């Protein structure tokens, strides 16, 4: 059974990576049509990236939104994860269920329902409304990551700190925080990545300044822009992989530093 | 070093302490005095409330009712970080992100000592538990025994009035446990601090303690020295929990002021002293007598004795090398009783079915209601 | 209890501390999730009259949504595509999860999971777009097959229809299906397999009688976690679906942003949610029955 499964697994990975693998191929292809055969090597599309002000504005806007989302979602995540792992309170299941709901709600529903309320309240759309939506969908991911960080923690560690004269707050700072720090870093990076990549909510809730995915969406209609988009996509994939690698590294280092067994993986 | 135990000043006083977890009644009217400088153990089966009581003293659980004094001060409203107690946790709770020295020196952060003083204190504490030179080690890279020592050093560095230990030896293997039992005892004598040890291992409690509180279901069943606990358990439950005890149906009547007359199934009639009725009720309420296996012996053919003799049959036996435990059924008794015998030269192990004469002593009988 | 003492400050009641911590995230979820969801339900009972919204409650939108063949077809098609995606994703994901859990050495498992999750974290939009590039008339797939002489003219049934949507979504949600199944498989005590073999079961019957039932919770989680979001997907049907591959999310978007008929869009959104919940409940119920039936 092992061999056929292994072959299957490798084919499956190829399927998973096929689209991404094509990105650099066409990003460096010296032709305006995205099709084989290839025409030759060029840096031209990457150079063009530097010359589009609207793209730069969208990138900046997205970064702003992603950083805010990462921080807010992680803060909410820390609060919820600690409550969920440390304390028993009536109605916990329902409360956590509501907070985690966006994880299984189609994003279009989140988007339109927020839109309806915001418009009804007469509020103008902008970066901040996108942040509101993104925090909502990123928080469950943060909680999932932080839950496992908090869960691995021996409750008596904090008690030991209190026993040795620290207050509740200072023992959280001195003991718990350093121990869940890898989880916090993972959570920040994951929330950042989610926000940077999210399209639908941004599409509905963005005002006059598009985020990067919204800008991209607009460009997909123009065939002559496609090679540039391939170049941009290549950079985005590189950035995502880099962020993920850092998140994974932080998690593993945290695990190694505290001598835990490597349990592996996100989510 | 003065023997602080002799002063016998109460350091912890518990007055009718109650603890509820929701509807669950975890501590039911605990009253006790723990003395300055003694090695005190809380012994009982799993779930009887030992940890709960220890955590109440440490300040991690609040009392539902009753009062708790440490060194004469009412602890109501005093949080755990302000109490003169320190704790060795069952899991040891070694901070995994800190080095051994940082762990041990953790409690010194809030003191006004200079850096060098702190380092010296840490080194002294490490030396005390036999870990000199381990300060730089990563805490998570220690063995079980070493973790236990770090936890001890960390708790002792603040020189608490009382040191609380929650099953500190249960995570160690047998050999390590035996060694640490001795070391803990030695350490306690050396520092003179009151130790309160939680354990469910009766042997450990007997070996280490000055006094033991035996707990069942949230109540203290008996608080006594190891010897008294073993020799004069106040109830069948305590007698059964500590060591092995045989029980025989019995009746008792008062003979005169200093004597009680007992009639026990299989043993016959005997006269005993009032101290052999440790519960303090009226002898007329007696239902059974207890007798320890090692206070009896099986007589070999031709052997004579001036002790009392009963007769029975060897039904079963377990051979332990140095000892043999016989299950002997006395004539006229339903259940066999356990008798332990040292395996000495010239005393072959008896076979099943052997008719046996059992020598026993009236002084080793204990009455139970 | 007259001498009941107040607890030390350190031990404020468990529940109170829990609520205190969870209050902020809960308030956030209530304000930005529960309230908007409530609002959209309310909205779906209003109606749009050109530029003004009539706030009298009416079932008009629902009547229209359920009677107009356009909407009915869209809802049904979304359901079918989602079901197809779910089946394809979960069935293809199971062997991977099984392989990683049972045949990859423990120290390499994290690496495999990492490899499997990476594509998921790269721009969704670009990934979907790349499928368009791959599956298109002049796309990578067709040009390659033509070049190799396997086909004489480009295949057309692979883009701008429901097939393309299924392939693309199955690709996008692969990690979502693999991870829960992997986790469930990891939890299985390996000695159970040995016990089953020891009791005379073969490889396949061990899988059937031991592994699969124990992996079922993971499979159910995978099904739900793939099915629910895909039914509301917007990008994929828009980019690769063509007119025959459009799904309900596209219509919701059209109602809100193009036709300016928010109440109709809201009604469709509510219907989508109802459909999702119904399927989820049925599935959870079936799973319960299945688990109980085994005991
Ligand atoms: N936080 C709590 N909430 C509810 N019940 C509790 C809590 N802590 C302890 N209990 C219950 O109180 C009883 C006594 O618990 P405790 O931990 O004191 O037992 P123990 O004597 O230390 O047992 P063990 O030897 O198993 O450690 C148990 O039945 C336990 O279930
Ligand atoms: Mg305990």
- Residues of chain A predicted below pLDDT 50: 261-267
**Same fold for the pair B1-83+197-241 and B244-369:** no
Instruction: Give me the pLDDT at residue C12, please.
Output: 54
Q: Is B60 on the interface with C (CB under 8 A)?
A: yes
Task: Determine the distance in angstroms separating the CA of A165 from the nearest CA of chain C, rounded to an integer.
Answer: 12
Q: Give the CATH fold of the B244-369 domain.
A: OB fold (Dihydrolipoamide Acetyltransferase, E2P) (2.40.50)
Instruction: Give me the pLDDT at residue B104, please.
Output: 94
Instruction: Give me the pLDDT at residue C40, please.
Output: 92
Cα–Cα distance measured from residue B104 to residue B86, given in angstroms and rounded to the nearest whole number: 12
ipTM of the predicted structure? 0.86
List chains touching C (3+ CB pairs under 8 A).
A, B
- Chain C residue with CA closest to B64: the answer is C4
Q: Given an 8 Å threshold on Cβ–Cβ distance, is B109 in contact with A162? A: no
Q: Residue B47 Cα, ligand 1 centroid: separation in angstroms?
A: 5
Instruction: Give me the pLDDT at residue A225, please.
Output: 85
Instruction: Give me the pLDDT at residue C192, please.
Output: 80
Instruction: Give me the pLDDT at residue B7, please.
Output: 55
Start-to-end C-alpha separation, chain A: 28
Cα–Cα distance measured from residue B83 to residue A159, given in angstroms and rounded to the nearest whole number: 13
- Residues A181, A152 contacting (CB under 8 angstroms): no
Reduced DSSP (H G I as helix, E B as strand, rest coil) percent helix, strand, coil of chain A, to 5: 75, 0, 20
- Residues of chain B predicted below pLDDT 70: 1-7
Instruction: Sort out which chain A residues have CB atoms less than 8 A from C24's CB and list them.
Output: 76, 79
Instruction: Sort out which chain B residues have CB atoms less than 8 A from C5's CB and list them.
Output: 62-63, 65-67, 76-77
Instruction: Give me the pLDDT at residue A258, please.
Output: 63
Q: How does DSSP assign A11-53, residue by residue? A: HHHHHHHHHHHHHHHHHTBSSSS-SSSP--B-SHHHHHHTT-H
Cα–Cα distance measured from residue C123 to residue C215, given in angstroms and rounded to the nearest whole number: 31
Q: Is B64 on the interface with C (CB under 8 A)?
A: yes
> Given ligand 1 and candidates B30, B50, B90, B196, which is best to mutate, with the most ligand atoms within 8 Å of its CB?
B50
Instruction: Sort out which chain B residues have CB atoms less than 8 A from A257's CB and list them.
Output: 96-97, 140
Task: Determine the distance in angstroms separating the CA of B85 from the nearest CA of chain A, rounded to an integer.
Answer: 8
Q: Given an 8 Å threshold on Cβ–Cβ distance, is C5 in contact with B81? A: no
> Given ligand 1 and candidates B23, B51, B198, which is best to mutate, with the most ligand atoms within 8 Å of its CB?
B51
Task: Determine the distance in angstroms separating the CA of C20 from the nearest CA of chain B, rounded to an integer.
Answer: 19
Instruction: Give me the pLDDT at residue A8, please.
Output: 93
C40: nearest Cα among C254, C266, C268, C272: C266
Nearest beta carbon to residue B65 from set C1, C10, C11: C1
Cα–Cα distance measured from residue B219 to residue B213, given in angstroms and rounded to the nearest whole number: 10
Instruction: Give me the pLDDT at residue C4, please.
Output: 38
Pocket of ligand 1 (CB under 6 A): B 21, 24, 26, 44, 46-52, 200
* Number of structural domains found in chain A: 1
Residues of C with CB under 8 A from a CB of B: 1, 3-11
Task: Determine the distance in angstroms separating the CA of C1 from the nearest CA of chain B, rounded to an integer.
Answer: 7
List chains touching B (3+ CB pairs under 8 A).
A, C
Cα–Cα distance measured from residue A44 to residue B98, given in angstroms and rounded to the nearest whole number: 52
User: Edge-to-edge, what's the strand order for the sheet holding B308-319?
Assistant: B297-299, B355-360, B308-319, B323-330, B337-342
- Residues C124, C233 contacting (CB under 8 angstroms): no
Cα–Cα distance measured from residue B28 to residue B59, given in angstroms and rounded to the nearest whole number: 18
Q: Given an 8 Å threshold on Cβ–Cβ distance, is B96 in contact with A161? A: no
Residue A220 backbone dihedrals phi, psi, to 5 degrees: -60, -20
Q: Residue B122 Cα, ligand 1 centroid: separation in angstroms?
A: 34
Strand B211-216, strand B39-43: pairing = parallel
Residue nearest to atom 4 of ligand 1 (CA): B21
Distance (Å) of CA A102 to CA A108, A129, C183, C222? 11, 16, 22, 16
The CATH class of the B1-83+197-241 domain is alpha beta
Instruction: Give me the pLDDT at residue C77, please.
Output: 92
Instruction: Give me the pLDDT at residue C8, please.
Output: 38
Atom of ligand 1 nearest to the CA of B21: 4
CATH code of the domain in which A244 resides: 1.10.3720.10
Distance (Å) of CA C259 to CA A110, C242, C256? 20, 20, 6
Nearest beta carbon to residue C33 from set A6, A22, A102: A102
Q: Given an 8 Å threshold on Cβ–Cβ distance, is C1 in contact with B77? A: no
- Tokens at A96, concatenated: 């956590």
- Residues A118, A125 contacting (CB under 8 angstroms): yes
Cα–Cα distance measured from residue A155 to residue C93, given in angstroms and rounded to the nearest whole number: 37
Angle at the Cα of C152 from the Cα atoms of C147 and C154, rounded to 5 degrees: 80
A117: nearest Cα among C252, C34, C60, C276: C34
Burial of C285 (0-12, 13-18, 19+ CB in 10 A): exposed
Cα–Cα distance measured from residue C257 to residue C64, given in angstroms and rounded to the nearest whole number: 19
List chains touching A (3+ CB pairs under 8 A).
B, C
Atom of ligand 1 nearest to the CA of B24: 5
Nearest beta carbon to residue C11 from set B61, B66, B76: B61
Q: Given an 8 Å threshold on Cβ–Cβ distance, is C99 in contact with A262? A: no
- Chain C residue with CA closest to B57: the answer is C8
In the three-class reduction of DSSP (H, G, I as helix; E, B as strand; rest coil), residue C286 is classed as helix
> Given ligand 1 and candidates B41, B48, B54, B87, which is best to mutate, with the most ligand atoms within 8 Å of its CB?
B48
Task: Determine the distance in angstroms separating the CA of C12 from the nearest CA of chain B, rounded to an integer.
Answer: 9
Atom of ligand 1 nearest to the CA of B218: 14
Cα–Cα distance measured from residue A229 to residue A238, given in angstroms and rounded to the nearest whole number: 14
Instruction: Name C219's Cβ contacts closer than 8 Å, sequence gap at least 6.
Output: C90, C94, C180, C181, C184
Instruction: Give me the pLDDT at residue A257, please.
Output: 65
Domain that holds residue A169: 56-257
Q: Given an 8 Å threshold on Cβ–Cβ distance, is A197 in contact with C40? A: no
Cα–Cα distance measured from residue C24 to residue C30, given in angstroms and rounded to the nearest whole number: 10
- Kindly list the protein residues that place their beta carbon closer than 5 angstroms to ligand 2, a single-atom ion: B 51
- Tokens at B84, concatenated: 């003169």
**Per-residue pLDDT reduced to its tens digit, C44-78:** 998 887 777 788 888 888 998 889 999 999 999 99
Atom of ligand 1 nearest to the CA of B44: 21
Instruction: Sort out which chain A residues have CB atoms less than 8 A from B109's CB and list them.
Output: 165-166, 174
Instruction: Give me the pLDDT at residue B1, please.
Output: 41
Q: Given an 8 Å threshold on Cβ–Cβ distance, is A116 in contact with C40? A: yes
Cα–Cα distance measured from residue C11 to residue C19, given in angstroms and rounded to the nearest whole number: 14
Instruction: Give me the pLDDT at residue A153, please.
Output: 84
C271: nearest Cα among C43, C84, C110: C43
Instruction: Give me the pLDDT at residue A170, please.
Output: 92
- Chain B residue with CA closest to A258: the answer is B96
- Residues of chain C predicted below pLDDT 70: 1-12, 292-295
Ligand nearest to the CA of B26: 1
Instruction: Name B39's Cβ contacts closer than 8 Å, sequence gap at least 6.
Output: B185, B188, B194, B195, B197, B208, B209, B210, B211
Angle at the Cα of C102 from the Cα atoms of C97 and C107, rounded to 5 degrees: 95
Q: Which CATH architecture has domain C59-294?
A: Orthogonal Bundle (1.10)
Instruction: Sort out which chain A residues have CB atoms less than 8 A from B140's CB and list them.
Output: 257-259
Q: Given an 8 Å threshold on Cβ–Cβ distance, is C5 in contact with B77? A: yes
Instruction: Give me the pLDDT at residue C58, please.
Output: 86
Residue spans per domain, chain B = 1-83+197-241, 244-369
Instruction: Sort out which chain C residues have CB atoms less than 8 A from A267's CB and list them.
Output: 117, 179
């Amino acid at each position: 059974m092992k061999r056929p499964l292994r072959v299957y697994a490798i084919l499956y990975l190829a399927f998973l990576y096929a689209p991404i693998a094509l990105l650099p191929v066409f990003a460096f292809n010296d032709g305006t049509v995205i099709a084989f055969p290839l025409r030759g090597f060029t840096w031209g599309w990457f150079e063009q990236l530097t010359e589009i002000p609207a793209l730069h504005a969208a990138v900046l806007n997205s970064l702003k939104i992603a950083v805010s989302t990462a921080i807010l979602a992680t803060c909410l995540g820390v609060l919820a994860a600690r409550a969920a792992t440390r304390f028993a309170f009536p109605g916990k299941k329902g409360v956590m269920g509501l907070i985690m709901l966006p994880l299984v709600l189609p994003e279009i529903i989140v988007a339109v329902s927020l839109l309806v309320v915001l418009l009804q309240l007469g509020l103008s759309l902008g970066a901040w409304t996108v942040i509101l939506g993104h925090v909502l969908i990123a928080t469950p991911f943060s909680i999932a990551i932080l839950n496992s960080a908090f869960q691995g923690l021996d409750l008596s560690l904090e008690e030991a700190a209190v026993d040795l004269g620290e207050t509740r707050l200072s023992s959280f700072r001195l003991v718990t925080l350093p121990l869940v720090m890898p989880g916090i870093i993972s959570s920040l990076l994951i929330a950042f990545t989610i926000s940077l990549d999210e399209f639908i909510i941004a599409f509905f809730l963005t005002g006059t300044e598009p985020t990067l995915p919204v800008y991209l969406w607009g460009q997909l209609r123009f065939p002559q822009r496609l090679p540039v988009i391939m170049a941009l996509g290549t950079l985005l994939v590189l950035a995502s992989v880099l962020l993920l690698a850092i998140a994974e590294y932080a998690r593993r280092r945290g695990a190694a530093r505290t001598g835990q067994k490597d349990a592996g993986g996100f989510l | 070093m003065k023997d602080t135990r002799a002063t016998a000043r109460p350091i912890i006083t518990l007055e009718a302490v109650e603890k509820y977890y929701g509807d669950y009644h975890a501590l039911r009217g605990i009253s006790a005095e723990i003395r300055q400088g003694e090695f005190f153990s809380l012994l009982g089966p799993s779930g009887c409330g030992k940890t709960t009581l220890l955590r109440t003293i440490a300040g991690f659980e609040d009392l539902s009712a009753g009062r708790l004094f440490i060194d004469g001060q009412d602890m109501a409203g005093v949080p755990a970080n302000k109490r003169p107690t320190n704790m060795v946790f069952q899991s040891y709770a070694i901070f995994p992100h800190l080095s051994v020295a940082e762990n041990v020196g953790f409690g010194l952060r809030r003191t006004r000592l200079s850096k060098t003083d702190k380092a010296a204190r840490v080194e002294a504490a490490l030396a005390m538990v036999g870990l000199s030179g381990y300060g730089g080690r990563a805490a998570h890279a220690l063995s079980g025994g070493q973790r236990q020592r770090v936890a001890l050093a960390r708790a002792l560095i603040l020189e608490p009035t009382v040191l609380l230990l929650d099953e500190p030896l249960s995570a160690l293997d047998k050999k390590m446990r035996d060694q640490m039992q001795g070391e803990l005892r030695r350490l306690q004598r050396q520092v003179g601090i009151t130790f309160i040890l939680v354990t469910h291992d009766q042997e450990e409690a007997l070996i280490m303690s000055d006094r033991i509180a035996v707990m069942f279901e949230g109540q203290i069943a008996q608080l006594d020295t190891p010897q008294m606990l073993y020799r004069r358990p106040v109830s069948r439950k305590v007698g059964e929990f500590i060591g092995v005890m045989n029980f025989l149906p019995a009746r008792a009547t008062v003979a005169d002021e200093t004597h009680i007359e007992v009639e026990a199934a299989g043993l016959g009639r005997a006269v005993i002293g009032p101290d052999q009725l440790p519960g303090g009720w009226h002898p007329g309420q007696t239902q059974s007598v207890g007798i320890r296996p090692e206070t009896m012996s099986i007589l070999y053919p031709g052997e004579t004795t001036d002790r009392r003799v009963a007769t029975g049959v060897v039904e079963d036996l377990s051979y332990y090398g140095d000892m043999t435990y016989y299950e002997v059924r006395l004539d006229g008794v339903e259940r066999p009783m356990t008798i332990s015998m040292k395996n000495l030269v010239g005393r072959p192990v008896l076979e099943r079915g052997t008719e046996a004469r059992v020598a026993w002593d009236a002084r080793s009988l204990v009455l139970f209601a | 209890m007259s001498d009941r003492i107040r607890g030390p400050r350190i031990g404020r009641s468990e529940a109170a501390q829990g609520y205190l911590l969870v209050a902020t995230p809960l308030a956030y979820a209530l304000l930005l999730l529960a309230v908007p969801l409530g609002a959209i339900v309310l909205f779906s009972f209003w109606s749009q009259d050109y530029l003004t919204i009539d706030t009298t409650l009416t079932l008009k939108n629902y009547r229209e949504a359920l009677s107009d063949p356009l909407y009915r077809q869209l809802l049904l098609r979304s359901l079918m595509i989602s079901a197809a995606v779910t089946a394809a994703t979960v069935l293809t994901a199971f062997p991977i999860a099984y392989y990683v859990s049972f045949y990859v050495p423990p120290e390499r498992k994290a690496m495999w999971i990492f490899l499997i999750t990476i594509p998921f974290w790269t721009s969704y939009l670009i990934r979907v777009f790349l499928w368009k590039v791959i599956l298109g008339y002049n796309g990578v797939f067709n040009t390659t097959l033509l070049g190799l002489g396997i086909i004489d003219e480009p295949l057309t049934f692979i883009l701008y229809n429901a097939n393309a949507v299924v392939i693309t979504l199955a690709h996008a949600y692969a990690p979502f299906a693999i991870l829960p199944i992997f986790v469930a498989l990891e939890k299985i005590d390996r000695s159970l397999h040995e016990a089953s073999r020891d009791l005379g079961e073969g490889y396949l019957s061990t899988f059937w009688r031991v592994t699969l039932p124990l992996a079922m919770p993971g499979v159910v989680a995978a099904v739900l976690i793939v099915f629910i979001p895909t039914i509301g997907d917007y990008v994929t049907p828009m980019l690769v679906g063509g007119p025959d591959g459009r799904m309900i999310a596209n219509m919701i978007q059209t109602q809100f942003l193009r036709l300016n008929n928010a109440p109709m869009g809201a009604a469709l959104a509510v219907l989508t949610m109802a459909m999702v919940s119904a399927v989820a409940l049925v599935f959870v119920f079936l799973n319960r029955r299945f688990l109980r039936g085994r005991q």
